[in-house]
Amino acid sequence: MVNAFGLAGTQAAGLDEWLSSGDMSKRLHAGKAAMNGVLAALLAREGYTGPSTVFEGKYGLLNTHAEGYDLGRLTERLGEEYKILSCKFKPYACCHELCPPIRLALEAQKRHGFKPEDVKNIRIGLNHVTAENQLKVAETPLHAQNHPAVAVAIALVEGKVFMKEFFESYRDPRVVELGRKTEVYADPEIDRVFPQKIGTRLEITTKDGRYSMFEEDKPPIPYSFVKEKFAALSSSQLPGEKIEEIIQAVERLETLGDVNRLSELFS
């Protein structure tokens, strides 16, 4: 395991310059990181060595990537707390901090019944990190997935945003117009509790009124939405009855005699 950590640490990478260019490098980050972890474990199993001081060494991860650090945090509650149990579902195929303004915009539209052409302007208050993404007109789907003005515009035009909407709608003239009407700013109240809480302030002004919404932190995603998302994303590849069968199998995963049964359902 020491060797595996060492080998994984030497491969640490991932820059966010794609936010400016909207290129495809972002797609590599999570998958390449997972691949590197598996590769490190396989190499370590075969006796391939890596630096045992990859974290705390003179040229290790902590000294080269942080001005200060608490080494004890690495083993804090080791064997007691498993971070994977705190992983959350992301409702939409975009930066997770864009999901709350998208949801609030859809809720406002559903509640008040306004159309995209009725909107005069939109203001989105976020934390200072997310608010740096100021692009109003996307040149690529990656832009659409990571810039608040574009993402919210797509939501209001399409009435939903799973995967294909980001790829098919970012050039829609109605999306472009709404994006240009949108102001994204860093909200001091939200910034004070970031990143412990992901707050959002949304103001939509239409021809008939002004609608304001605020939440201090994003709420948990209901299981019903998780199923809806899975059905929406898999519907182009699987028939409805197969989708429902997969959902039922996942819901009783602990009782499946053979996990291959679940794999077979995707074929």
pLDDT tens for each residue of 105-150: 999 999 999 999 999 999 999 999 999 999 999 999 999 999 999 9
Q: What is the total count of domains within the chain? A: 3
The verdict on 55 and 142 lying in the same domain is no
Q: Do 136 and 182 touch, CB atoms closer than 8 A?
A: yes
The verdict on 100 and 211 lying in the same domain is yes
The verdict on 174 and 102 lying in the same domain is yes
Question: With a cut of 50, which residues of the chain have pLDDT below it?
Answer: none
pLDDT tens-digit series, residues 199-219:
999 999 999 999 999 999 999
The verdict on 147 and 246 lying in the same domain is no
pLDDT value at position 14? 66
Q: Do 201 and 124 touch, CB atoms closer than 8 A?
A: yes
Domain assignment present for 222: no
The verdict on 103 and 209 lying in the same domain is yes
The verdict on 255 and 186 lying in the same domain is no
Distance in angstroms (rounded) separating the CA atoms of residues 60 and 211:
51
Range of the domain at 54: 2-71
**Final residue of a structural domain among 21, 55, 71:** 71
Domain assignment present for 81: no
The verdict on 102 and 174 lying in the same domain is yes
The verdict on 109 and 52 lying in the same domain is no
The verdict on 173 and 207 lying in the same domain is yes
Dihedral angle sign, alpha carbons of residues 27, 32, 33, 34: positive
Q: Would you state the structure tokens that stand for residue 151, as one six-digit string?
A: 């993402």
The verdict on 62 and 145 lying in the same domain is no
The verdict on 205 and 158 lying in the same domain is yes
Q: Which own/partner pairs from 23-30 qualify as long-range (CB within 8 Å, at least 24 positions apart)?
A: 23/140, 23/142, 24/142, 26/142, 26/146
Query: Measured between alpha carbons, how far is residue 246 from residues 87, 222, 234, 255, 263 in Å?
Result: 21, 18, 11, 14, 9
The verdict on 120 and 187 lying in the same domain is yes
Q: Would you state the structure tokens that stand for residue 183, as one six-digit string?
A: 């102001």
Domain assignment present for 226: no
Q: How many residues does the chain have?
A: 267
pLDDT value at position 110? 95
pLDDT value at position 3? 85
